[in-house]
Amino acid sequence: MRIAYLGPTHSFTHETLTLLYPEAEPVPAPSIREAVRLAEEGEVDKAFIPLENSFNGPVHETLDALAETMLHISLCVERRIRLVAAGNPKADKVYGHPHALAAASKWIEEHMPDATPVPAPSTSLAAQLAARENQACICSRKAAEANNLEILGEDVGPKDNYTRFILLEWRDNPREADRTALVAILPDKPGALYRFLEPLARHNVNLTMIYSRPARTTPWRYLFYLEMEGSRTNPAIADALKEARTRSLMLKILGSYPLKQLKH
Amino acid sequence: MRIAYLGPTHSFTHETLTLLYPEAEPVPAPSIREAVRLAEEGEVDKAFIPLENSFNGPVHETLDALAETMLHISLCVERRIRLVAAGNPKADKVYGHPHALAAASKWIEEHMPDATPVPAPSTSLAAQLAARENQACICSRKAAEANNLEILGEDVGPKDNYTRFILLEWRDNPREADRTALVAILPDKPGALYRFLEPLARHNVNLTMIYSRPARTTPWRYLFYLEMEGSRTNPAIADALKEARTRSLMLKILGSYPLKQLKH
């Protein structure tokens, strides 16, 4: 099984994927959009990308890709993110993914007050840059080790730092599903969101995520991304979604899928 | 009047502030949090920061700062963002704020397919980096001119690219207000968002913005940011907010303020 993921190697996405499917062949992609395209065009079987972080919120590229793709979410995996600071203790730059820099900002202020945080496209690229330029970075322990960087601090981010990753493929997995996700565009009038949520509330559906993103075709219009507990094969959820659909301009089910918690 | 803004000079925030208040003394701050802190501690009179972009969504640092500050939003300004590509036409790097790079991604793919987009903390720093390293960037015309960069492309972003900026100070301006904003934490049970929105729908209040951000104290809990049409002195809105408050764990009014559209 070939699975495209947001690379490069030693990114958190890569690490999580290899823990989840040690037998699969991971195929690095330079962007989330590209990982999804590889799966859509059949060059790989599935795509594995980050969805949201408990500290920094959603990954916008993923939400935007979900609105456009015809693939479905077939699995969601939650994993605690442990960050280390690594590299040159006298560095004047600390490289890191913007989310990792934000999560470690208190540690950086306390322990490396003279260093400037510099955003990098991924934690693994941050580690490569730190190694090449004799600077420091915020990354995973594996990325630090792969680049022979000295560990300057352990667990430099907040404790409640979890990331949820999703697996995308043509088929989803409604029979064993814990969650269902959708994206919708609502009419532009007072109470539209309220009326859309009403059938879900009436059927006692528990929302586990709600985000909005600009609908890029029209300024200040939004796409709504919702995730709820339960499968769309559950009769209450099926009824609620059927009614909610009539109160939207567009409603697309992104999938019903199991939620798995990785312990390491 | 001294106004702290998200710097450095020639950022879009700076340009918009000088168009709005040509007489004020603009004080650059290195981050949104720092601009807000300067106003909170009385070192400046007000803070001027970006709130959301019609193409890329909210500015997370601003939402996070709004949850914590005791300052109020006293004005919101909407301005069309015109981006140029500038610098060395044979560059192998294109610097830009991540939002600007996302907005200009089609232009970069078509006109500079061999150049790598490299994120920078602001459009004006991107222009400085491009000038120093003989590379290219996505920035405002003024930032390109200030750094003596050749203009490679005009209007390289989407046409519907607007940014809304907000002014923060101790007092807000409910008498002449067009909009009211709030942040709320809701109970963790089915239908909580639905029940919170019900009084607003019943009073025909039109929501103009809704975003959620992680409540960093607990994983997978959210803060909700809402903006609606009208002042909180409007009786229907006052009643709706009073009822909505009883259905929340916490509701903080961020301000009632005029909405101004800048034509250039």
pLDDT digits (tens, 9 = 90+) for B30-56: 889 999 999 999 999 999 999 998 888
pLDDT for res A115: 94
Chain B hits for A98, Cβ within 8 Å: 98, 119
Task: With a cut of 80, say whether residue A202 has pLDDT above it.
Answer: yes
Residue type, A94: V
**A264, part of any domain:** no
pLDDT digits over A92-102, tens only?
999 998 878 98
The total number of structural domains in chain A stands at: 3
**B264, part of any domain:** no
Q: What pairs with residue B4 in β-bridges?
A: B27, B47
**Residues A6, A122: contact at Cβ < 8 Å?**
yes
Task: With a cut of 80, say whether residue B264 has pLDDT above it.
Answer: no
Of the candidate ranges A114-128, A208-222, A249-263, B195-209, the one whose mean pLDDT is the lowest: A208-222
Among the partner residues B53, B194, B216, nearest to A55 by beta-carbon distance: B216
Instruction: Give the closest-approach CA distance of A127 to chain B in angstroms.
Output: 16
Chain B hits for A60, Cβ within 8 Å: 56-57
Assign residue A199 the CATH number of its domain. 3.30.70.260
> How far lies A228's CA from each of A64, A167, A173, B150, in Å?
19, 17, 15, 51
The whole-number average pLDDT for the span A59-71 is 92
Tell me which of A220 and B47 has the higher pLDDT. Answer: B47
Q: In the listed set B140, B169, B198, which residue is the last one of a domain according to the structure?
A: B169
**Residues A3, A21: contact at Cβ < 8 Å?**
yes
- Global ipTM: 0.79
Chain A hits for B206, Cβ within 8 Å: 189-190
pLDDT for res A7: 79
Q: pLDDT > 70: what percent of chain B?
A: 100
pLDDT for res A245: 96
Both B50 and B92 in a single domain? no
H helix or E strand, kind and range, residue B11: none
Both B180 and B253 in a single domain? yes
Among candidate residues B111, B125, B114, B118, the one with its CA nearest the CA of residue B92: B114
- Cβ distance B214 to A189 less than 8 Å, yes or no, reads no
Q: In the listed set B135, B169, B203, which residue is the last one of a domain according to the structure?
A: B169
Of the pLDDT bands very low, low, confident and very high (cuts 50, 70, 90), residue B24 is very high
Among the partner residues A57, A200, A218, nearest to B213 by beta-carbon distance: A57
- Cβ distance B213 to A160 less than 8 Å, yes or no, reads no
**A240, part of any domain:** yes
Chain A hits for B211, Cβ within 8 Å: 211-212
**B38, part of any domain:** yes
Both A165 and A42 in a single domain? yes
Chain A hits for B160, Cβ within 8 Å: 216-219
pLDDT digits over A14-46, tens only?
999 999 999 999 999 988 999 999 999 999 999
Instruction: Give the closest-approach CA distance of B211 to chain A in angstroms.
Output: 6
Task: With a cut of 80, say whether residue B219 has pLDDT above it.
Answer: no
Both B47 and B59 in a single domain? yes
Both B53 and B102 in a single domain? no
Q: pLDDT > 90: what percent of chain A?
A: 75
**Residues A46, B202: contact at Cβ < 8 Å?**
no
Assign residue B76 the CATH number of its domain. 3.40.190.10
Round the average pLDDT of chain A to a whole number and report it: 92
Among the partner residues B193, B197, B219, nearest to A162 by beta-carbon distance: B219
Q: In the listed set A103, A134, A169, which residue is the last one of a domain according to the structure?
A: A169
- Cβ distance B208 to A214 less than 8 Å, yes or no, reads no
pLDDT for res A40: 95
Both A213 and A241 in a single domain? yes
- Cβ distance A212 to B54 less than 8 Å, yes or no, reads no
How many other CB atoms sit within 10 Å of the CB of residue A81? 22
Q: What pairs with residue A179 in β-bridges?
A: A229, A257
Task: With a cut of 80, say whether residue B102 has pLDDT above it.
Answer: yes
Q: Which long-range contacts (CB under 8 A, 24 or more apart) does B66-70 make?
A: B66/B181, B66/B183, B66/B225, B66/B254, B67/B183, B67/B213, B67/B223, B67/B252, B69/B36, B69/B40, B69/B168, B70/B40, B70/B170
Cis peptide before B219 (omega within 30 of 0): no
Both B75 and B89 in a single domain? no
Domain range for residue A213? 174-258
Task: With a cut of 80, say whether residue A121 has pLDDT above it.
Answer: no
User: How does strand B2-6 pair with strand B25-29?
Assistant: parallel
**A236, part of any domain:** yes
The whole-number average pLDDT for the span B121-127 is 86
Task: With a cut of 80, say whether residue A218 has pLDDT above it.
Answer: no
Both B182 and B249 in a single domain? yes
Q: Which burial class, exposed, middle or buried, applies to B159 when counting CB atoms under 10 A from its CB (0-12, 13-18, 19+)? A: exposed
- Cβ distance A209 to B190 less than 8 Å, yes or no, reads no
- A with B: how many residue pairs have Cβ under 8 Å apart? 96
**B263, part of any domain:** no
pLDDT for res A26: 96
Of the pLDDT bands very low, low, confident and very high (cuts 50, 70, 90), residue B254 is very high
Chain B hits for A213, Cβ within 8 Å: 57
The whole-number average pLDDT for the span A111-122 is 89
Both B132 and B186 in a single domain? no
Show which residues on chain A lie within 8 Å of chain B, measured between beta carbons: 53-57, 60, 98, 119, 121, 158, 160, 162, 189-191, 193-195, 197-198, 200-201, 204-214, 216-220, 222
- Cβ distance B193 to A204 less than 8 Å, yes or no, reads no
- Cβ distance B160 to A210 less than 8 Å, yes or no, reads no
pLDDT for res A173: 82
Task: With a cut of 80, say whether residue A264 has pLDDT above it.
Answer: no
Chain A hits for B209, Cβ within 8 Å: 220
pLDDT digits over B135-167, tens only?
999 999 989 999 999 999 999 988 888 999 999
Round the average pLDDT of chain B to a whole number and report it: 92
- Cβ distance A60 to B60 less than 8 Å, yes or no, reads no
Both A105 and A89 in a single domain? yes
- Cβ distance B218 to A160 less than 8 Å, yes or no, reads yes
- Cβ distance A204 to B190 less than 8 Å, yes or no, reads yes
**B236, part of any domain:** yes
- Cβ distance A201 to B195 less than 8 Å, yes or no, reads yes
Distance CA A120, CA A117 (A): 10
Both A34 and A165 in a single domain? yes
Both A96 and A216 in a single domain? no
Decide: helix, strand or coil at residue A40.
helix
- Cβ distance B193 to A210 less than 8 Å, yes or no, reads yes
pLDDT for res A158: 84
Distance CA A196, CA A244 (A): 5
Chain A hits for B57, Cβ within 8 Å: 60, 212-214
**B262, part of any domain:** no
Cis peptide before B235 (omega within 30 of 0): no
